[in-house]
Amino acid sequence: MADTIGGDFTAVARAHSNIALVKYWGKRDIAVNTPAVGSISVTLDALATDTLVSFEAGLDADEFLLDGRPEPVPRVSALLDLVRDRAGLALRARVSSTNNFPSSAGLASSASGFAALALAASHAAGLDVSPKELSVLARRGSGSAARSIFGGYVEMHAGTKASGLDSFAEQLLPAADWPLSVVVAITEPQPKPVGSTSGMLGSAMSSPFYPGWLETADRDLDVMRRAITDRDFATLGEEAEHSCLKLHALMLTTRPALIYWNAATMAAMHRVIRMREAGLPAYFTIDAGPQVKVLCAPGDAAQVAVEMNQVPGVHEVRISALGPAAYLLDDDSPALTQAGR
């Protein structure tokens, strides 16, 4: 059995959120949660989840605390069941997660959350799993979580197998090989109204743009992969904005419509375009929520943050560098402290 902290079926892991440059939207198979298209992301150093998993005798059911508050357990239990099956373990678990950013507000807390859960649960159960296997496991919790197992620039493969075993992420380039900053403008700290899974199913069923979305995915991935290999920031930025706007065109034309933007989201987008016209190379991207993430060179991040702070309706601005792969923590982490250990 692999090492567990204190040998007591307990482990703590940290994973970072990620932002897709080429977006994923749509499921190939909902049962094993495979995406309809591949995606490319960057992992964000400033947005992290710490998760404690402790398999314990005497628990009747799994328990899940998020930022100290009890939360619904089914999605967490479903991932723990995969780990228990593989480890031959019957014990239920206590899970405690802390985010250093607002949960469920379009900042990909499910990405960092399920990546941290997959790593901590596998380790606590004594499993010896490769990063690729962890990515497959994390994907079962949330599609974008498969990418948060890795640091830097990351590509997620849609895969073709019914098992989903070829639907995993891998690193394209380490963060240190091409430093990039992401300035996150938070326009609404409250949870989003429509979750991504139900939104995706709605888009596939009702948006007339869905076939076009599927048809253009491979082209978008090829161009972005090449931009990263060539360290071509202008292409990376233009393609990231295009993928974001194409995603939101799909969302807006879903019935019922998925309108994730608010007035400040729109104002921030225009501000980025104006910055660019004034000679500051910066590009926006937005996920299933109202927050605006601005891609720029590290030397321009402070200036971009000043401009984003001036946009009416922006509550908070954070600057992030690119982040590392998910990793295990020792037992004095915040998640452990919060769980009272």
Q: What span, in angstroms and rounded, lies between the C-alpha atoms of 37 and 215?
A: 9
Burial class (CB in 10 A: 0-12, 13-18, 19+), 193: exposed
Q: Pick between residue 13 and residue 336 the one whose CB is nearest to ligand PMV.
A: 13
The minimum distance between CB 100 and ligand PMV, in angstroms, equals: 19
Q: Please report how close the Cβ of residue 199 comes to ligand PMV at its closest, in angstroms.
A: 8
Q: Does 288 bind ligand PMV (CB under 6 A)?
A: yes
Least separation, in Å, of the C-beta of 274 and ligand PMV? Answer: 25
- Contacts of residue 134, defined as CB under 8 A and 6 or more positions apart, other chains included, come to 115, 118, 119, 122, 149, 326
Strand partners, 47: none
Which range touches ligand PMV (CB under 6 A), out of 22-30, 120-128, 168-176, 184-192?
22-30
Does residue 167 bind ligand PMV (CB under 6 A)? no
Cα separation, 5 vs 119, in Å, equals 13
Residue closer to ligand PMV, measured from CB, 34 or 122 = 34
Using the contact rule CB under 6 A, the part of the chain among 16-24, 186-194, 298-306, 315-323 near ligand PMV is: 16-24
Helices (H), the chain: 74-87, 109-124, 131-141, 196-206, 210-229, 233-252, 263-277, 301-309, 334-338
Least separation in angstroms between CB 330 and ligand PMV: 29
Q: Report if residue 143 touches ligand PMV, rule: CB under 6 A.
A: yes
142 lies in the site for ligand PMV, by CB under 6 A: yes
Site for ligand PMV (CB under 6 A): which residue of 11, 20, 138, 240? 20
Among 4, 98, 103, 144, binds ligand PMV (CB under 6 A): 144
Q: Which is nearer to ligand PMV, 10 or 97 (CB)?
A: 97
Best CA proximity match to 153, nearest among 238, 224, 247: 224
Instruction: Supply φ then ψ for residue 314, to 5 degrees.
Output: -80, 120
CB of 30 to ligand PMV, least distance (A): 11
The contact mask relative to ligand PMV for 84-123 (x = CB under 6 A, - = no) is: --------------------------xx------------
Query: Which residues lie across from 186 on neighbouring strands?
Result: 316
With binding defined as CB under 6 A, does residue 207 bind ligand PMV?
A: no
Residue 279 CA, chain-centre distance (Å), reads 30
Total site size for ligand PMV, rule CB under 6 A? 14
Angstrom CA distances, 149 to 47, 240, 301, 323, stand at 14, 21, 25, 11
Site residues (vs ligand PMV, CB under 6 A): 20, 23-25, 39, 110-111, 142-144, 196-197, 287-288
